Structure 1
């Protein structure tokens, strides 16, 4: 018996395709997933991939963007906490997010190195900058160019630690939390250069 294709609003159909592609790209590299497979997984005609995304690469970039941008909401309550307590609670929250978004986020984090294209790198850079801003906000620190620049590399370290924990099992969650908490404190507590803030 043929399945009846459900009529969806364009935004819902687009998201359906992204969700199906996310599952395929979580386990396989970009080059090994065909447009026909993407369409079949989403339960749509192949032409709809091109209609909504232009081509397979644009769909991949949408999956990347959704996989590596950390959420901005539901941060813990930090009232009355020290910087050290805020740092540990923030890194704990990020590890929870990595567990939820987990394999897709960790797998996608290396995609810029795998594909080397500027459009992929731009998405990774956007995600790293957004994560730096989120952490500064959570720590109650000002969003200065210097502090944001110090925290952007922490995103790569966070992804590497999460790979060790989630994929390789070489770290426990507690070890990961300790490493990340110590690292974020080191990054933000180093004094600003003498020129910072001068006219």
Structure 2
């Protein structure tokens, strides 16, 4: 956090400083609990000077959300090299690093907060989701997804978001397990859709063709194979 003796800054430099301070405060506590006075003290300036750069807390909050949204969107960028499962696992690791470090801020961004109902805040959340969606399609090497593939990818992005929000409420499941489970969830969603659609089946075959047996997707196949005998042994229930 920036503290200490005041020094003269240019307009853009001061705005960047205030956004950084606000993002740190909003990331560690609920934005509703952070005052302009606290932001001013953390930045080493007076309360009136904060209002010189931002009309009010709402404006500063939305600027901080913009910074957070840009950081979140960047987390889904990953070199298109190596097995997809390993790539997704690295993405989930960075995603949960952010969630872990900026829990209240992440929750405020996705659930609302002082900017609840703000069209600007809603647009930022949509941009993060769209960036994640676009990056996943790029990893799959698909420029124009079929309706089913678009549904799978968007469903998975929403699942990652909701899983992170639920995890923040109690952190009851080990983080590393959730990261791996979300990668497995992507494979599972793709596999279920592949059972209904030949184009999705082709996507699944392409994905699995490059997966090593000891990778995240290979591990899922192994877990399901061990589970299959027990599941198949259960007699089907009669319907009336």
Please give the TM-score of this superposition, normalised by the length of structure 2: 0.63
Query: 1:126 Cα shift?
Result: 1.5
Q: Which residue in 1 is equivalent to 2:177? A: 175
Of 74, 88, 91, the match for 2:89: 91
Work out whether residues 78 and 91 of structure 2, in 8 Å CA contact, stay in contact via their aligned partners in 1.
yes
Q: Which residue in 2 is equivalent to 1:19? A: 20
Deviates more, 1:177-186 or 1:145-154: 145-154
Q: Which residue in 1 is equivalent to 2:211? A: none
Q: Distance in 2 between matches of 1:47 and 1:148?
A: 48
Structure 1 residues 86 and 168, CA, compared in 2 at 3 Å: closer, same or farther? same
Q: Which residue in 2 is equivalent to 1:197? A: none
Q: Which has the larger radius of gyration?
A: 2
Question: What secondary structure does 1:142 align onto?
Answer: coil
Work out whether residues 87 and 181 of structure 1, in 8 Å CA contact, stay in contact via their aligned partners in 2.
yes
Are residues 1:108 and 2:105 paired?
yes
Question: What secondary structure does 2:73 align onto?
Answer: coil
Work out whether residues 87 and 139 of structure 1, in 8 Å CA contact, stay in contact via their aligned partners in 2.
no
Work out whether residues 80 and 139 of structure 2, in 8 Å CA contact, stay in contact via their aligned partners in 1.
no
Work out whether residues 25 and 33 of structure 1, in 8 Å CA contact, stay in contact via their aligned partners in 2.
yes
Query: 1:166 Cα shift?
Result: 6.4
Q: Distance in 1 between matches of 2:66 and 2:174?
A: 27
Work out whether residues 22 and 61 of structure 2, in 8 Å CA contact, stay in contact via their aligned partners in 1.
yes
Deviates more, 1:113-122 or 1:184-193: 184-193
Alignment of 1:33-44 (within 5 A): 33-44=34-45
Structure 1 residues 143 and 129, CA, compared in 2 at 3 Å: closer, same or farther? farther
Listed one character per residue, the Cα deviations across residues 129-168 of structure 1 (whole Å, up to 9, x for unaligned) are 1111122212322254844454334333223333565663
Q: Any stretches of 5+ residues in structure 2 without a counterpart?
A: 199-240
Structure 1 residues 58 and 177, CA, compared in 2 at 3 Å: closer, same or farther? same
Work out whether residues 21 and 43 of structure 2, in 8 Å CA contact, stay in contact via their aligned partners in 1.
yes
Question: What secondary structure does 2:45 align onto?
Answer: coil
Work out whether residues 53 and 59 of structure 1, in 8 Å CA contact, stay in contact via their aligned partners in 2.
yes
Q: Any stretches of 5+ residues in structure 1 without a counterpart?
A: 195-199
Listed one character per residue, the Cα deviations across residues 52-101 of structure 1 (whole Å, up to 9, x for unaligned) are 332211211122222243216862351xx4xxx31442232232243156
Query: 1:34 Cα shift?
Result: 1.5
Q: Number of aligned pairs?
A: 186
